């Protein structure tokens, strides 16, 4: 059985060409992280029960954590 090849995309020639112009939130990037399955489930459940997204929960948590760390510097 032959593997199907993915369609190729044109290689951008400028940095600006790498961003999708039709993206509704161009200031956002995609980040992949690894986390424990139980924590992932907690994030998803919290997001659903509070009418938000898992992405927003993670972003808020990271921001709050960094603010806390930066505030504790001597």
Domain boundaries, the chain: 36-74
The mean pLDDT value for 5-13 works out to 59
Distances (CA, A) of 23 to 27, 34, 47, 63, 64: 9, 25, 23, 23, 26
Predicted TM-score of the model (pTM): 0.60
Task: Please determine, for residue 1, whether its predicted confidence score (pLDDT) is greater than 70.
Answer: no
> What's the confidence (pLDDT) of residue 27?
83
With bands split at pLDDT 50, 70 and 90, how would you rate the model's confidence at 66?
very high
Task: Please determine, for residue 70, whether its predicted confidence score (pLDDT) is greater than 70.
Answer: yes
Report pLDDT digits (tens) over 19-64: 555 555 568 899 999 999 999 999 999 999 999 999 999 999 999 9
């Amino acid at each position: 059985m032959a593997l199907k090849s993915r369609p190729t995309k044109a290689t951008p020639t400028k940095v600006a060409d790498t961003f999708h112009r039709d993206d509704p939130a161009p200031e956002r990037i995609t980040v992949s992280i690894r986390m424990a399955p139980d924590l992932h489930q907690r994030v998803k459940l919290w997001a659903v029960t509070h009418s938000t997204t898992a992405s927003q929960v993670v972003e808020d948590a990271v921001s709050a954590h960094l603010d806390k760390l930066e505030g504790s510097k001597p």
